[in-house]
Amino acid sequence: MQPLDRFVVVLDRPQDPINVGAVVRAVKNMGLSRLRLVRPAPFEREELLRIAHHSEDLLDRIEVFDYLDDALTDAAYVVGTAAVRHSGHTQTQDVRGLATRLMARPADETIALLFGTEDDGLDLYALDRCHLVATLPTDAAYPALNLAQSVLLFLYEVRLAARTPPPAGARPGRTRPPHAQLERLFLLSEEALGAIGFFKRSPASAMRTLRQIVYRADLTPTETAMLMAVARQMIYVARGEGRGAIAPMDDAAPGTEQ
């Protein structure tokens, strides 16, 4: 696998086919090959080719999804993009440093670069699925970039990082769980906390905080599976299905024990 092959650009509900075509061109310019669209506005292939000339190979590989979680399912790390700060989410303006850190992650790990709608950017649902939110250091008086401009600038930094040799003695990072496994953990955790009466009001705020804790912890698949087993056991006991009994583990990682 080539260094840039680990990256996938994800556009969440792009609204204008012209912008999609310009993103295709930016992805092609920077040497990436993976583009996913979540519920895009209708477009014609020829419409995109008028903007992204000679990009037939990339157009043939575009994947279209109805749901964001499906587009992120195999991503072990999700970087969201935003023009402004979002409280409660880990955020950086050091895009060049971030690109270097991303290149140090395991070579077989899928990294998603997530971009939101042209009107409003990423919504809270999408932001909650980001390990980190990155903001380009634009002028504060006019921070919002065109979608394709934003994609191009981010991918330029990724391309630079891919062409820079890793530091001497650098070691590859450890394997992280894919998005699908983390989402399963969050669903089980919300069910478990609800079962023991933890939520006093809406669970949304507490779960948003829990997500950020998990993202910062940078869990391995085995650690994630163990927390899932803990949540499952909480549910099992809260339902009165027997103290001391062990809840079934249907999706544990290899090597996980209860």
* Per-residue pLDDT tens digits for 37-62: 999 999 999 999 999 999 999 999 99
Name which of 17, 6, 5 is nearest 148 in CA terms: 17
Give the chain's residues under pLDDT 70. 166-173, 241-258
- CATH code of 3-162, in short, is 3.40.1280.10
Same fold, 3-162 and 179-238: no
Q: Measure the CA–CA gap between 112 and 8, rounded to whole angstroms.
A: 5
Rounded to two decimals, what is the model's pTM? 0.88
Answer whether 172's CB lies under 8 Å from 104's CB.
yes
Q: What's the pLDDT at 64?
A: 98
Q: Describe the crossing of helices 203-217 and 179-195 by its angle, rounded to 10 degrees.
A: 140
CB < 8 Å & 24+ apart, contacts of 16-19: 16/41, 16/118, 16/147, 17/41, 17/42, 17/43, 17/44, 17/47, 17/48, 18/47, 18/51, 19/118, 19/146, 19/147, 19/148
Q: What's the pLDDT at 244?
A: 56
Q: Where are the domains of the chain?
A: 3-162, 179-238
* Per-residue pLDDT tens digits for 90-137: 899 999 999 999 999 988 999 999 999 999 999 999 999 999 999 999
Three-state DSSP state, 178: coil
Right CATH number for 179-238 from 1.10.287, 1.10.8, 3.30.70, 1.10.10? 1.10.8
